[in-house]
Amino acid sequence: MKKTILLALVVGLAGCSDAMPEPNAATCAPGAYEEALAEIRSKSHRLAFTEECKSFQRAENMRKWEFKPSSPDRY
């Protein structure tokens, strides 16, 4: 009996967690970003997720580069 009540309590509380999604390319994409923000209930978690997505986007932009060869007369 006690095990059944404990199991029901654990299962019931599992849905109450307000876990913040991991910021990555999928969750920080424009459509998924708003969807993820709507699911987060806590204001502090929303602000943290927003900042982490901004940080993720800046890091992604820093990784993008394009090779630009020097002009022949600059050797």
Q: What is the pLDDT of residues 1-59, one digit of tens each?
A: 555 554 444 444 444 556 888 989 999 998 999 999 999 999 999 999 999 999 999 99
Please tell me the predicted confidence (pLDDT) of residue 26: 92
What is the per-residue pLDDT for 44?
93
- Measured N-to-C along each axis, helices 30-39 and 43-63 cross at an angle, to the nearest 10 degrees, of 160
Let me know the angle formed at the C-alpha of 28 by 67 and 26, rounded to the nearest 5 degrees: 85
Helix (H, G, I), strand (E, B) or coil at 75: coil
- Cα separation, 38 vs 50, whole angstroms: 12
Taking the C-alpha atoms of residue 60 and residue 70, their distance in angstroms, rounded to an integer, is: 25
Question: What is the number of alpha carbons within 13 Å of residue 30 lying toward its C-beta?
Answer: 0
Residue 64 scores a pLDDT above 70: yes
